Structure formats: structure tokens, C-alpha cells
Chains A and B, each alone.
Chain A
Amino acid sequence: MKHAPTIIILALLFLLPVVVLILQAGAPGWRFPELWPELSFDGIAFLTARPRPFLTALASSLGYSLVTVALTLAMTILPAKTLAFTSFRGKNLLEGLLLLPALVPAMTFSMGLHFIFIKIGLADTTPGVILVLSMVSYPYMLRALATGYTLMGREYAVCARNLGASKWRVFLEVEMPQLLPAIAAGASVVFLVAFSEYFLVFLIGGGSIASFTGYLFPLITSSNRGLGALITLVFLAVPIVLFIVLELGLYRYHRKRRMR
């Protein structure tokens, strides 16, 4: 097995942490210097006894992350097409500027924006959180869609237009199906960025917008490591389930189209 070292390194880096989390979640009392945990279900019992804050945080995070995905898609789909198919003076500079929100530290503009949001009443609201999350994550959607449009080319659309299809029809029936993989790729990244963000939700939401990261944060430094590990596992599970649903959805969609 000449590939064994690679597999071992991958397992040590990425599987071992998951195993540790599972053990820790199953044994909240696991402490120095015990090496082997004693199983207990205190963590799960704690969650089932007081499910409210946990479920609120999870639902809130899921909600604002999914809306962020939809908003970034709406913001970038037409500009991505414009950037992919037209050239104009200063295009490179503009593309660079449009990537800045994902490159510069999010703190830099969000702390100024926080002050504006206080003045116009968007601070401590879910729309405010969604707007700021969209700003830090749209560049990923823009890049994915622009690449998707470039790969697709414009010939299909031109052909459909020549055959008499309306602009909307071309968009929905010619471009959309071919763009779906790019949309899925962009959406996955945007969702992960929004779902994992702690600081921005804390800053703009001001503590009144529940978030799953905010729920995890105090547990990390507390003595209840088991519960922290359990929550971290949920963090891993939620996106994986969503990605599997997305893959299956895409697969079924393509099969259906082929059968027509």
C-alpha cells in the first residue's frame, strides 16, 4: 500500500477530531487524566430537557443562512452574466473591487456599518444580520456564477432567442439548468460562511438574534465540554445533510429532464 501514509494523515487530521468529539459528547465527565471515557448520556438528556434555546438557535441560524444564500443569488446573477459576457474599460479593477468584501477583514467595514444600522434601525434585527452576511459572502457566489456563465458560453441563449424564445424563457429553460451546478457550488460556500459566522451576528444582532455559533460559544470555555462537543457534532451534521439533499435534488432534476 504505497498510498497508506496519505490515508493515515488524512484520517489523523480530519477523522480523529470527529471521533474525539463523539467520545466527548458521549462522556461529558471525561476529564484529565482519564484516557478512556465513561459513557453517559447527560449531554443528550440536557438537550431534551431544555430543547427550547437549542432549537431556537438552530432554526434562527438556518433561517438567516438560507435567506443569505437566496439574497446573494439574486444580487449576483445578472452582474455575473454581465461580467462574463461583456468587456469594458476598468473591468479588471471593478472585479478586484467587488472581491474586496471577502478579502479585507470583515470587522473593518462592519463596525462602521453597525453605527449606520443603529441610526436607521437595522441593528439588532434579522434583516440587518442578513445584509451584513450577504456582503461578506456574495463574492463566492459571484465567482461561481461568473465561471458558470463563462463555461456555458452564450451560444445556446442566442440560438434560443433566434428561435423565438422570450428573455425569461431563455433564462429559465436554457440558462438555469446549465447554471445549476455553479449555483449549487456558490450556495454551499455562502451557506457555510453564513452558518459558521460568530462575530458579525454577535455585532449586528447585538445578542438579540439567536445563532448556533452564539449558542456554542459559552459552552467552549465552560466546564461542560460534553455538551460543547455534542453541539459541534450538530454543526457538522446540519451542512452535510443539506449538501446530501442538494446533491439528490440536482440528480433527480437532471434525470427528470433527460426523461422528457
Chain B
Amino acid sequence: MGRRILWGLAPLLLPYCALFCAGMALTMAQSLGLFLPVGPGEATLDHYLTLLEDQAMGQSLGLSLFVAFVSAAGSVLGGTLLALALWRMPPGLRRVGVVSKVGLILPHVAVAFLVLLMLSRTGLVSSALFQTGLISSPEEFPNLLHTGSGLGMILAFLLKGVPFALLLVGAVLFGFDIRLVQTARMLGAGPLRTFWSVTLPRLLPAMHSAFIILFLYAFGSFDIPFVLGESHPGMLSIRVFDIFFQRDLSQRPQAMAILTLMFVFAALFAMLYNRFAAYLDGWRRKL
């Protein structure tokens, strides 16, 4: 790497190393029992072994993966469908899509609050059902939140994720050369075939990026699970928070070990997913 390139990258590389790499290095060091507030200790893998033996850990991991996958896949699907529907509209009418910005602007905390307002047992939907006589007390309304199913969290993530996917996919779609579709149709391809072989392949990169970002965000986020989640089994981030803030200092390495594993998983996932998407793409083209 030439010196000029290095100078050009320095304004970013310096804070990157000083904050991101150093912070991550310290998280990893503490997970091994080093550099703790109580003093330097000896490196040990004990804390990772305790995690492996902990059954609740497996449940938390399962819940995190489940919530992240369902919300990300649902967001990409919903966002893409909305983008396609908007794309078919005349350009003037297409501007109605701007209302989806509400979901982008509202913070995660606020979206979680909205889900509570609507779906809690004394929430709006429950009130509406009561008024129409379908239920006679709040207890009859199904307990949708705080059941361990993660449904409330998924809904909140969807409300944030659908507009995000719509934004990414729409950016590609609305700049899409309509003549490609017209040519395919003129050459005799049906609407489905045109979508499958012309439109979709061009949308896939944006859909993949949206999926990676949303999946990893939901996997590691704190704000929504903190409002809507339950603690048994909690999402991984909630477990980390509990161990870090509510238990004594000797357990801190465990929290750091969970974080280290989450980091490794996220980095590997992003890398492997990209490889996998590229592989699929090459495979499609060979056909």
C-alpha cells in the first residue's frame, strides 16, 4: 500500500483502531479473565466452558436467532412487495411511499412503545374487541406479548425493517431501466418469467444487503428486547445486560464471553452470507 493511500485512509483508520479494535480487544481480554476491574488475572477459558454448560444460554441463542431471522426475512419480503407495488404506480402516485419514512424515523424505543399501546392486554386492539363484544374482559385477549414467543419483538422489528428494505430495494427498482422489462415482454416472456429472469436478479443484491443488516441488527440489539422482551429466556443482549449490571463483578467475564461469541458469529455470518450470495448468483448465471 502506497504512502499516499495510507495518508488518505488515516483519518478513519486511527479512530477505527483506537475505538473499535481497542474496545473489541478489551471485551475479548475480559472474556478470558484479563484486565478486569479487580486487577490483572490469568488467562482462562473457564468462562466459555460455563456458558457451554448453561442450558438457558442455548434457549437465549435460539430465541435471538429466531426473532432475528423471522423479522429480517419478513421485512425483506414485505419491503420488496411494497416496492414492487409502488413501482407499478404512476410516478406521481408513487410519492405516497413517503409515509413509510415514519418507520425509519421513529427510534426503536418508540416503535416498541407503539406495539405496547396497540397489542398489550389493555391496549387498543383489546379495547376495540371489547367494544365490539368479542371479548368481555382484558384477560380474554390473548397474551401476545411477554410469552417467550418473541412475537411483540418481531412486530416491532418489522415496523422498522419493512421501510428499510423498501428504501434499499426501491432505490434499485425506481432507477431500473423499464426497457429491459419491455424487451423481455416483446420477446415473448410472460409476466412471471419476466419477473423471475429480469427483475428479480437485479433486486437480489439490495435484498441480500437488507437481510444481512436487519438480521444482525435484530440479533444484537438491546432497545426493543428491553421493552418488549421477557427475561426467561431473554434475548442474548438482555442476558449480557443482566450479567453485566445486576450481578457481581466476578461474573463479568461471562458477559464478555457472550459478547465475544456474538461478535465472531456476526462477522462470520456477514462474510459467509456474502460468499453464499455470490455463489448462488454465479450458479444462476450458469443456468
Chain A positions near chain B (C-beta within 8 angstroms): 3, 5-7, 9-11, 13-15, 17-18, 20-21, 24, 31-35, 74-79, 81-83, 86, 88-90, 94, 96, 98-116, 131-132, 134-135, 138, 142, 192, 195-199, 213, 216-217, 220-221, 225, 228-229, 232, 235-236, 239-240
Contacts and interface: CB of A to CB of B under 8 A. Distances in A.
A132 B2 contact: no
21 contacts: A3-B89, A5-B85, A14-B101, A15-B99, A20-B118, A33-B131, A79-B10, A81-B8, A86-B4, A89-B1, A105-B237, A105-B259, A107-B262, A108-B259, A108-B262, A112-B22, A112-B30, A213-B223, A216-B113, A235-B106, A236-B106
Contacts of B205: none
A103 B266 contact: yes
Contacts of A78: 8-9, 11-12
Contacts of B222: 107, 198-199
Given A14-B102, A33-B130, A213-B107, A107 B240 contact: yes
Q: Which of B16, B107, B117, B219 has the most CB of A within 10 A?
A: B107
A3 B85 contact: yes
B215 to A, nearest CB: 10
A196 B271 contact: no
Interface string B73-99: 000000000100110110001001101
B58 interface: no
Contacts of B20: 100-101, 109, 135
A109 B220 CA distance: 12
A11 B15 contact: no
Contact of A111 (B88, B101, B244): B244
Majority SS of interface residues in chain B?
helix
A74 to B, nearest CB: 7
A13 B23 contact: no
B105 A103 contact: no
Interface string B97-119: 10111111111111011101110
